[in-house]
């Protein structure tokens, strides 16, 4: 396992809750990490592994940035090889994620493509298995949203709804179906839902609906796959500082981002990744299935 990384002054500043104020900023979707101010913390300089996933192989959708990058780094430092699915426009972000995986001494596989297309979604699973020789952990993390200045159902356009449902839901079905050819007893599926499944925002009506559906899918799959020894769980993040935020919301909303939590701030991707490690770890969560872990800054889930 890698030595414990030195924590730089920059990392300390990023992890300080008092520094959780963000400037007004906006990007074109899907957004890039390098254009964010401040830069998110993915645990690059702070996460220390303990061999919880030694010898395992994971596929993470939406693994190029944000929560996906933090999970990839954590999994690698816990001993897993990692395949990362991402949009081609996010190539630079994905390469940075791969750098951190490889620095931990693990294999990184880059799988660009739009998983909102069925053939691509199924192909990334086959490619991940071909290059990693096995699949033990599936993280259905990729998601899109589009916050609307005009709230309400009337503002939802069919083409935008199609994209949201295909990436957030259809792809999860396709990728999970394909993965079942390779996942065996002891394997783990972890889906990313959201606080939006419990407290839907008017401006995110279609996105919130998909996140509620992911809860249902998680419970259903836990019931279906339990007899095969496959555990299925979900993580429900609250407001987390990722490229999805400035790329899909009005610039001025960033100055208030995360302030509506009991902790009074947004979370960092590094603060979400340990939940994914716990759920994937056979030593820690062998009897945990059909469960949703909230990482929400104090907002209630369930």
Average pLDDT, the chain: 91
pLDDT at 4: 39
Say if 179 falls within a structural domain: yes
pLDDT tens digits for range 57-116: 999 999 999 999 999 999 999 999 999 999 999 999 999 999 999 999 999 999 999 999
Q: What confidence tier does 18 reach under pLDDT thresholds 50, 70, 90?
A: very low
Of the pLDDT bands very low, low, confident and very high (cuts 50, 70, 90), residue 5 is very low
What is the Rg, in whole angstroms, of the alpha carbon atoms belonging to the chain? 18
Is residue 21, in this structure, part of any structural domain at all?
A: no
Q: Find the domain containing 102 and state its range.
A: 53-295
Name the active-site residue from 47, 75, 198, 207. Answer: 207
Residue 203, domain member (yes or no) = yes
Between CA 238 and CA 201 the distance in angstroms is 12
Q: pLDDT band at 20, cuts 50/70/90?
A: low
| Contact criterion met (CB below 8 Å) for 189 and 179 | yes
% the chain with pLDDT above 90: 75
Question: Has 198 been annotated as catalytic?
Answer: no
DSSP for 174-226, please give it. HHHHHHTTT--TT-EEEEE--GGGTS--GGGHHHHHHHHHHHHHHHHHHHHHG
Domain CATH for 118: 3.40.50.720
Burial of 54 (0-12, 13-18, 19+ CB in 10 A): exposed
Instruction: Work out how many domains the chain is built from and give that number.
Output: 1
Instruction: Specify if 42 maps to a domain.
Output: no
Tell whether 16 is covered by a domain: no
CA atoms within 13 A on the CB side of 295: 21
Query: Does some domain include residue 176?
Result: yes
pTM: predicted TM-score of the whole model, two decimal places: 0.91
Q: Is the pLDDT of residue 236 over 80?
A: yes
Measured distance CA(106)–CA(111) in Å, rounded = 16
Residue 139 is predicted with a pLDDT of 98
Whether the per-residue pLDDT at 239 is higher than 60: the answer is: yes
User: What's the pLDDT tens digit per position in 178-235?
Assistant: 999 999 999 999 999 999 999 998 888 999 999 999 999 999 999 999 999 999 999 9
Q: Tell me the per-residue pLDDT of 131-153, one tens digit each, with 9 for 90 and over.
A: 999 999 999 999 998 876 667 78
> Looking at 3-90, which runs of residues are DSSP E strands?
57-61, 81-86
Residue pair 63/295 in contact by the 8 Å Cβ criterion: no
CB-side exposure of 167: number of CA atoms within 13 Å?
21
Q: Is 91 part of any domain?
A: yes
Which residue from 122, 93, 71 is spatially nearest to 273, judged by alpha carbons?
71
In a domain, 215, yes or no: yes
pLDDT band for 271, please (50, 70, 90 cuts).
very high
Cα–Cα distance measured from residue 234 to residue 88, given in angstroms and rounded to the nearest whole number? 26
């Amino acid at each position: 396992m890698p030595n414990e990384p030195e924590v730089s002054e920059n990392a300390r500043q990023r992890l300080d809750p008092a520094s959780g104020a963000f400037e007004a900023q906006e990007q074109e979707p899907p957004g890039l990490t390098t254009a964010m101010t401040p830069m998110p913390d993915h645990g690059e300089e702070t996460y220390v592994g303990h061999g919880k996933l030694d010898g395992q192989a994971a596929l993470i959708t939406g693994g190029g940035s944000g929560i996906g990058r933090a999970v990839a780094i954590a999994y690698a430092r816990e001993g897993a090889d990692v395949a990362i699915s991402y949009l081609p426009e996010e190539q630079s972000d994905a390469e940075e994620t791969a750098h951190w995986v490889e620095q931990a001494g693990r294999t990184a596989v880059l799988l660009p493509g739009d998983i909102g297309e069925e053939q691509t979604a199924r192909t990334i699973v086959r490619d991940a298995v071909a290059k990693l020789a096995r699949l033990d952990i599936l993280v259905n993390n990729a998601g899109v949203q589009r916050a609307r200045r005009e709230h309400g159902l009337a503002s939802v356009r069919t083409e935008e709804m199609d994209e949201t449902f295909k990436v957030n839901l259809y792809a999860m079905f396709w990728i999970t179906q394909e993965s079942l050819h390779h996942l065996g007893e002891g394997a783990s599926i972890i889906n990313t839902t959201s606080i939006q499944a419990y407290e839907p925002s008017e401006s995110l009506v279609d996105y919130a609906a998909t996140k509620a559906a992911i809860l249902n899918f998680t419970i259903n799959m836990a019931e279906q796959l339990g007899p095969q020894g496959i555990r299925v769980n979900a993580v429900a993040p609250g407001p987390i500082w990722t490229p999805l935020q400035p790329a899909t919301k009005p610039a001025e909303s960033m100055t208030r981002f995360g302030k509506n939590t009991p902790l009074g701030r947004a979370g960092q991707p590094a603060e979400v990744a340990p939940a994914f490690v716990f759920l994937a770890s056979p030593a820690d969560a062998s009897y945990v299935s059909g469960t949703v872990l909230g990482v929400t800054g104090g907002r209630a889930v369930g």
